[in-house]
Amino acid sequence: MRIWKTLDGAAIAAFALAAALAPAQAQSYPNRAITLVIPFAPGGSTTIVGRGIADKMSELLGEKIVVDNRPGAGGTVGTKAVAKSEPDGYTLVLGYTGTLAIGPSLYKNVGYDPRKDFAPIGLIGNAPNSLVVHPSFPAKTIAELIAYAKANPGAVNFGSAGAGTVSHITGEYFAASAGIKLVHIPYKGTGPALTDLLGGHIPMAFAPIPASHPNVSAGKLRALAVTSTTRSSLMPDVPTIAESVLPGFDASLYYGLAAPAGTPRPIIDRLNKALRDALASDEVRKQLTQDGTEITPGTPEDYAAFIDKDEKKWSQLVKASGVEQE
């Protein structure tokens, strides 16, 4: 009994010491560069959003936030790496619908639990996907696209940011809802998919508005629809899929910041404040709004609740699509 009492006392002492050190850690945090893992290839919407946030938060925190693009398996490779990293506040991840809501249901062994393995910092915002086509594609509207696909079953390809990404599942969701057959062409990120679309190698793609908008504005691509239930302020003339032919269709994308589970709460609070201050700044608001992102700041608890809700929604869509990855 004395041995167990001694061990209990030691454990209590260690816990008390850790609790006492946490505020001190937060006061000195950060004292070196922070790594923000963006789990996709450069050039996509996640990089656009992540770099804008990282630059402003670097300024506010007084330490550099270094962006590290780590693509692979629909963003789950980089996300898993952060889940397993040291919970000291120096390795963060750009949370995304594809990695925290889709990946856990899509992959048999994703390697992390979106609810248990992360300490949410806060939401950044949301943006709908866009359905964009090469100018040579004959369909000018969603209705024409569906009619064309029905007349040419299995002959229409669509590109995505990779197997299991939001753009992939959105395409499967759209095809199932419209009763058509589309052939999925996966890429290693939105950037490479749009490059092939611009070159005419694929006829269409689902891509986040921040990434597709510049090419649509330049006339290099044609936007047939957006995937949210309301039109995008960046593309007010482009209809939603829901209003066009498929009522209730909704596939919006959400971004946030998260750290590994176990990161001290004072550090999470410091990062949340820096994130919210960054989102309130004129330069970040202007940049994200111009890229079609609706800013939705909140508390760590708000983001935790959202992750739970979003995962439940997308897991149902993944199951309905019949798509599963090893």
Residue 114 near residue 80 (C-beta atoms within 8 A): no
Ranked by mean pLDDT, which of 249-263, 285-299, 312-326 comes out on top?
249-263
Is a pLDDT exceeding 50 seen at residue 13? no
Q: What is the pLDDT of residue 209?
A: 86
Q: Could you tell me the pLDDT band of residue 141, with boundaries at 50, 70 and 90?
A: very high
Query: What is the H or E stretch that residue 306 is in?
Result: helix 300-321
Residue 259 near residue 91 (C-beta atoms within 8 A): yes
Is a pLDDT exceeding 50 seen at residue 2? no
pLDDT tens by residue, 200-245: 999 999 998 878 989 999 999 999 999 988 899 889 999 999 998 9
Q: What is the pLDDT of residue 165?
A: 79
Residue 40 near residue 189 (C-beta atoms within 8 A): yes
Q: What is the pLDDT of residue 160?
A: 93
Q: Report the percentage of the chain scoring pLDDT > 90.
A: 67
Q: What is the pLDDT of residue 204?
A: 98
Q: What is the pLDDT of residue 14?
A: 46
Mapped onto helix, strand or coil, the DSSP state of residue 114 is coil
pLDDT tens by residue, 249-282: 989 889 999 999 999 999 999 999 999 999 999 9
Q: Could you tell me the pLDDT band of residue 5, with boundaries at 50, 70 and 90?
A: very low
Residues in Cβ contact with 144 at an 8 Å cutoff, skipping those fewer than 6 apart: 138
Q: What is the pLDDT of residue 319?
A: 84
Is a pLDDT exceeding 80 seen at residue 298? yes
Q: Which residue has the higher pLDDT, 30 or 190?
A: 30
d(C-alpha 301, C-alpha 316), whole Å: 23
